[in-house]
Amino acid sequence: MFRLENKVALVTGAGSGIGEAIARTFAAQGAQVIVADVRGDAAESVSAAIREDVGNAHAQTLDVGDEGQVTSTLQALAARFGRLDILVNNAGVSHVGTVLETSAADWERLMRVNTLGVFLCAREAVRQMLAQQPMGGNIINIASVAGMVGLESRFPYSASKGAVISMTRSIAIDFVAKGIRCNAICPGTIHTPFVEGYLARSYAGREDEVRQQLHARQPLGRMGLPEEIATAAVYLASDEAAFVTGSLLVIDGGLTAR
């Protein structure tokens, strides 16, 4: 079950953390994975490790907020591999702050990557998936519980992820008759280099204290692991999830159950 043989999958933000775990798990399940990241060296490193350990992977430098680059890259990938079966919109950035602690530059930075990036990649993926009928395709957006409930000092991040949730539902309904599924995963706090970087930037000297607070925020008492998000992505990408579209898969250690 949940095998992905003969599938071509593009994973954005796959140079570390959740994206890396998804790319690795997809390859282990038989997919041909394109490891995309704005940091080309990180994409190369992850794809090389995947080829050595578990399966097929190809590195791709990609800035998801650059319209021209997204269009040309996805067209080139589709020509190279013949199709695109799965897109995982994982690339994202964060910001800590309330509405009063968010500048216009902060807002634009988050929206460029977290919202515009999802839009651009999804648009080009849908175009390709329509062109390869009757195969259709599958889009998985990495949203967040921050787009569902109020979290302290996450104003622009929450707004950006709320937009991802809305885009997921719209794409699902608009293209359900064309064989394209679109779902979102809404993680709670996942322990990744992304989180460690956020701790270093925002809580210098208090990293251990705040890290423990992040663990305790989940009723299960810990942050999640990237691999726990990756296994959910495999399910959504697989044929076993053929009846699932427009859904939010919440993986948050019980945070939103309160």
| pLDDT 10s digits, 131-176 | 998 889 999 999 999 999 999 999 999 999 999 999 999 999 999 9
Q: Which CATH class is domain 8-253?
A: alpha beta
| 220 Cα distance to chain centroid | 23
Lowest mean per-residue pLDDT among 87-91, 130-134, 223-227: 130-134
pLDDT of amino acid 202: 82
Return phi, psi of residue 59, to 5°. -85, 145
Q: What percent of the chain has pLDDT over 70?
A: 100
**How many C-beta atoms lie closer than 10 Å to residue 3's C-beta?**
14
Domain extent listing, the chain: 8-253
pLDDT of amino acid 126: 98
pLDDT of amino acid 96: 87
Q: Would residue 5 be called left, alpha or beta, if left means φ above 0 and alpha means ψ between -120 and 50 degrees? A: beta
Is residue 28 predicted with pLDDT exceeding 90?
yes
Lowest mean per-residue pLDDT among 13-27, 109-123, 197-211: 197-211
Residue 178 CA to residue 180 CA, distance in Å, equals 6
Beta pairing partners, 94: none
Burial 185-221 (b: 16+ CB within 10 A, else e): bbbbbbbbebbeebbeeeeeeeeeeebeebeebbeee
The one catalytic residue among 157, 198, 203, 235: 157
The reply to whether 203 belongs to the active site is no
Confidence band for 198, pLDDT divided at 50, 70 and 90:
confident
**Identity of residue 116:** L
Mean pLDDT over 15-20 rounds to 97
Cβ-proximal residues to 217 (8 Å cutoff; 6+ apart), any chain: 188, 189, 255
Q: What percent of the chain has pLDDT over 90?
A: 91
